[in-house]
């Protein structure tokens, strides 16, 4: 079968939906040039600086595997060529070792291993490997398929850009959805607060507004009770004041009565003394005069 033309390959690569389909188209083109030629794609993780995934076309379908191979394992010249991404870098006599490292076969028929960097916006995004059989005459397989590989590199960059745009669109949609949800929640909360405020003004609030209204009413009732209690306390104070005044007067009267009783006791004592003296043989007239004097002095004290 004659190899597919570049125009046909370009048409196929422009219509593929993902990198796997593009890689299958390239592998078919390489197989048409030489059945012993094999191609594989390695996805490069720039954050970890590792080749993180391997894609190998096969008759049963695309074989994929997760790997962790650092570029530091490759020779410096090879790494420099990969970063440039313009042409294949030939590993020559070390091909067998690196085929084992990358998992793309290490049998004698695997031939020479060539690597080419795939760039997206000037940054390494993938590595394409080509195992070409050794030839003694004619053009090498890598030279024959170089235009096809260039078309694949363009398709790889286009698919990566489309994938980035789709991710950006999804991220923007998620952000827009999140902002809309947040805006809707904020509007709903404000409407709820507005409804509560209006209900509180109308005395028909629910939840917290009813509680606030109840507390206000309780405060008003407490204020009325406090005023009534203050009035009662004032009346009690007036009663206590009157009672204290009466008590003071009663105390004065009691003191006066006590002094009067003391005076009477003194008079009685003097009369008794005088009578004792009269009984002891003193002049009775003189005793009577003294008693009269004592009584007279009591009357004078009482009049004062």
> Is 97 found in the same domain as 227?
no
Say whether both 47 and 121 belong to one domain.
Answer: yes
63 vs 198 pLDDT, higher one: 63
Residue 24 CA to residue 43 CA, distance in Å, equals 15
The owner of tokens 């009584």 is: 295
**Looking at the domain assignment, is residue 190 inside a domain?**
no
More confident residue, 242 or 302: 242
In a domain, 147, yes or no: yes
32 and 139 part of one domain: yes
State residue 44's pLDDT score.
92
pLDDT for 184-237, tens place per residue? 787 777 777 777 777 766 655 555 666 666 777 877 888 888 888 888 888 888
The pLDDT of residue 107 is 57
pLDDT digits (tens, 9 = 90+) for 264-286: 777 777 777 777 776 666 566 67
Do residues 153 and 120 touch, judged by C-beta distance below 8 A? no
What's the pLDDT score for residue 128? Answer: 92
Whether 28 maps to a domain, the answer reads: yes
Note whether 245 and 112 are same-domain residues: no
Sheet holding 63-70, edge to edge: 63-70, 50-56, 38-45, 123-132, 112-120, 89-90
The last residue of one of the domains, among 122, 141, 158, is 158
Give residue 223's domain range. 209-303
Q: What's the domain count of the chain?
A: 2
Q: How far apart are CA 34 and CA 213, in angstroms?
A: 90
pLDDT digits (tens, 9 = 90+) for 24-55: 888 888 888 888 888 999 999 988 889 999 99
Whether 51 and 115 map to the same domain: the answer is yes
233 Cβ partners below 8 Å, 6+ apart? none
CATH number at residue 38: 3.30.450.40
User: What's the pLDDT band for 253 if we cut at 50, 70, 90?
Assistant: confident
């Amino acid at each position: 079968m004659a190899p597919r033309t570049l125009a046909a390959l370009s048409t196929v690569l422009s219509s593929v939906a993902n990198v796997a389909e593009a890689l299958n188209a390239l592998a078919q083109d390489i197989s048409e040039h030489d059945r012993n030629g094999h191609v594989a794609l390695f996805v490069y993780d720039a954050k970890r600086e590792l080749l993180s995934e391997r894609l190998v076309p096969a008759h049963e379908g695309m074989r994929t595997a997760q790997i962790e191979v650092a570029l530091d394992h490759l020779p410096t010249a090879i790494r420099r060529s990969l970063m440039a991404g313009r042409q294949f870098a030939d590993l020559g006599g070390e091909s067998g070792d690196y085929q084992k490292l990358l998992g793309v076969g290490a049998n004698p028929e695997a031939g020479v291993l060539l690597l080419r960097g795939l760039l997206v916006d000037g940054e390494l995004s993938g590595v394409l490997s080509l195992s070409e059989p050794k030839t003694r005459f004619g053009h090498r397989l890598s030279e024959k398929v170089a235009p096809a590989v260039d078309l694949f590199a363009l398709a790889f960059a286009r698919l990566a850009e489309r994938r980035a745009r789709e991710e950006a669109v999804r991220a923007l949609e998620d952000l827009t959805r999140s902002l809309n949800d947040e805006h809707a929640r904020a509007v709903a909360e404000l409407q709820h607060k507005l409804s509560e405020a209006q209900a509180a003004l109308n005395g028909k609030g629910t939840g917290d507004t009813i509680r606030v209204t109840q507390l206000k009413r309780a405060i008003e009732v407490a204020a009325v009770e406090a005023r009534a209690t203050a009035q009662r306390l004032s009346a009690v104070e007036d009663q206590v004041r009157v009672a204290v005044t009466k008590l003071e007067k009663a105390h004065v009267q009691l003191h006066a009565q006590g002094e009067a009783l003391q005076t009477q006791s003194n008079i009685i004592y003097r009369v008794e003394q005088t009578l004792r003296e009269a009984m002891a043989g003193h002049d009775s007239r003189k005793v009577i005069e003294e008693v009269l004097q004592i009584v007279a002095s009591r009357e004078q004290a009482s009049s004062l």
